[in-house]
Structure 1
Amino acid sequence: MSDREKAQELIYDAFELEGPKRYKLAREALKLNPAHPDGYNILAEEAGSLVEAIALYKQGMELGQQELGEAFFKENKGHFWGLLETRPFMRAKLNYAQANYDLGQLQEAIRHFEELLELNPNDNQGARYSLFIAYLDNNEFVKAKELLDHYDDGTVQTIYNRVLLELLENEFTPLAGKLLKEAQKSNVIDYITGKKKLPAFTPYFYSLGSEEEAINYVQDHLHIWRKIPGISEWLTQSRKKVKS
């Protein structure tokens, strides 16, 4: 095998491991192919700070972009995820965008989330969910609504985000109540109001309509819901009206 092929095999092996062995294989892979984005993605996991991690994500993203080349981007924009060779770069770019968001660098995060959707409109990575949150944090409500309308997938994320957006823009309107009535098919409200306590850790996997999906949603969006004065009381009263 070529060095690039050997590096890829080491990365595949690293994906199956945890701890020091995982990082050792990533380093060995980068010796064989210094431009492999997944090597940097893995090493960022053991970084001592988010600032160190973001530097590794950026390095992997930029090297991956150079490796693919400008012509490749022009030719394949719109269906990137369907091409296996793009995925390490796409993972690094998503990690970089999310790390920027976590550091409060909203404009940079939004730019990269948007670029991910341009490269892969099918959004196999779920970048739209993080982008929606970033839009709200940045008070870009028009863009947030356009994003919801474009990806109207009927998930808990979309259903409750329609309620959230209406509340942020227009407060406790009849439309907000109507949207909430349509949304009350999960335990999201119990977690927002504090009736149920959120677990310390985010569930890694979840199925549609599951308790884990509700937990994931609230953990990501709770800080925005809490910006609305009187939200817990309104949610509680609205739920009582539905049950009565």
Structure 2
Amino acid sequence: MYHININIKVKWLEGLQSINKIKDELSFLSEKQPDPFFIEGYIVGLGLTPQTVLPSVWIPKLFGDDTPDDEMHLRSLMDFYHVCMDSVMEGNLTLPIECSLSKLDLQIALRNDMPLPNYCMGMLLSLSFIEQNSLSPVQSFQLKKLRHVLSGLKSYLNAQNTFGESRDLRDQALSAHNELGQCIRETAYEMRFSDQCIQEAEEASALPGFNRDQIESHLNDILNKDSQATLKLINELITVIERELITVNFIEQFREEIENLHEAQPYFILKTRKAQIHFNLDEFEVAQRVLEELIELAPNDYYKNRYQLYNCYIKQQKWSSVSVLVDKFDSCSLPDSATQLLCEYAQNGNSQRAQDLKSHIKQRFPEFVALAGADSQRGNNQISDAMTEYIGKGGLKAWRSVEGSLFWLKA
């Protein structure tokens, strides 16, 4: 299969297994019923498009109206998408081993229920996203060449029409199959990585009338809203970044220093905002998964994602998880201290330790006892930045979820 490290191969296999599950679950609902090799060819084809095709566009075209809506299935599908994109970016893409062809079984291998035809048909479908009139002559030629080979290998009848019905049909079909992987790689290069593509991208960014401040202000206005529409936008932005920069190989290569790289900061900011929106929408398990991934990827936690994760655990009463995370960072900040205090009270009530912790936090952070009314004071410069951050990460929501805690805090 792909010539990539063992971790990526494991993800690939997990993605393929999930795709089989998706297909099985949609078999009674979806008219399209794409098979796993159709899906793989389709997703690899997306990597050849000059512009990123957003999930909100390509998923419905693949599955029809009955798109998978299960969070875990969508997550596995996107993981598989990123592995395929990574292979395209690295230029080491090869055909699945099941998409084989030989002289002896040519007619059987090109049946419409076999891997190779499905792979080719899937790729042909995703190549339809490419706008022909925006291509250079070289790109148009390369795309036409790839489509010719894919069309010839999507069925035995097509092979006869494409490669001829003469005695050398088998030889021509085998030759086309042997060159398919290279043809895909060459198409990816011409569409996305050639010197001409890079030059055109640089020229486009330098065009007059590009008001960066206005665009950034508009984007911030959108991202500040806690809504499913904002989540959809953030997910699609993350998809673009994971396709273009923060790929599986990039993470593996720069894992030790990734949280310090300037290139990775937009990714961390978007993922942090994604988790916060899920938390604010009471989708605590989803927020928890995103935050755990962020802390694993960026263990120094410059964006203070542990504060939100503390409160995800508290809302789900996962007290041991809170304790492990608090001990891991061993910090005496207001959010860390407040979390320890709330966990002790939630589990043991007005214990001696809870009283000691409350006394300590009142001495060190005297404004914290006004937590119950702090939400109404935000923005009026009446509470500290630390308190504002704690509330913004869900601290007040966590305290309200533990009965009697706010009353006890003021006592």
2:399 aligned with 1:225, yes or no?
yes
Q: CA deviation at 1:5?
A: 9.1
Q: Which moved more, 1:70-79 or 1:155-164?
A: 70-79
Q: CA deviation at 1:136?
A: 0.8
Q: CA deviation at 1:141?
A: 1.1
2:200 aligned with 1:22, yes or no?
no
Q: CA deviation at 1:164?
A: 0.5
| Distance verdict in 2 for CA 1:89–1:155, change over 3 Å | same
Q: What is aligned with 1:188? A: 368
RMSD over equivalenced CA pairs, Å: 3.3
| Distance verdict in 2 for CA 1:89–1:227, change over 3 Å | closer
Q: Give the TM-score taking structure 1 as reference length.
A: 0.72
| Distance verdict in 2 for CA 1:57–1:4, change over 3 Å | farther
For 1:79 and 1:126, the matched residues in 2 are separated by: 17
Q: Larger relative contact order (C-alpha < 8 A, sep ≥ 6)?
A: 2
| Distance verdict in 2 for CA 1:177–1:92, change over 3 Å | same
Q: CA deviation at 1:228?
A: 3.4
SS in 1 for 2:258: coil
The percent identity for this pair of structures is 20
- Residue number among 293, 312, 317 corresponding to 1:139 in the alignment: 317
| Distance verdict in 2 for CA 1:160–1:51, change over 3 Å | same
Contact 1:106 1:138 in 2 (8 A): yes
| Distance verdict in 2 for CA 1:83–1:50, change over 3 Å | same
- Superposed CA offset, 1:150-202 (max 9, x none): 1122111111111011111221111101111111122111233x4x7731538
Contact 2:275 2:287 in 1 (8 A): yes
Q: What is aligned with 1:212? A: 385
**Larger of the two Rg values belongs to structure:** 2
| Distance verdict in 2 for CA 1:139–1:58, change over 3 Å | same
Q: What is aligned with 1:178? A: 356
Which runs of 5 or more residues in structure 2 are unaligned?
1-197
- Residue number among 265, 268, 282 corresponding to 1:87 in the alignment: 265
- Aligned AA (1:177): Q
Q: What is aligned with 1:57? A: 234
Alignment of 1:21-40 (within 5 A): 21-23=214-216
SS in 2 for 1:81: helix
| Distance verdict in 2 for CA 1:4–1:169, change over 3 Å | farther
Alignment of 1:121-132 (within 5 A): 121-132=299-310
Q: CA deviation at 1:119?
A: 0.9
Contact 1:167 1:173 in 2 (8 A): yes
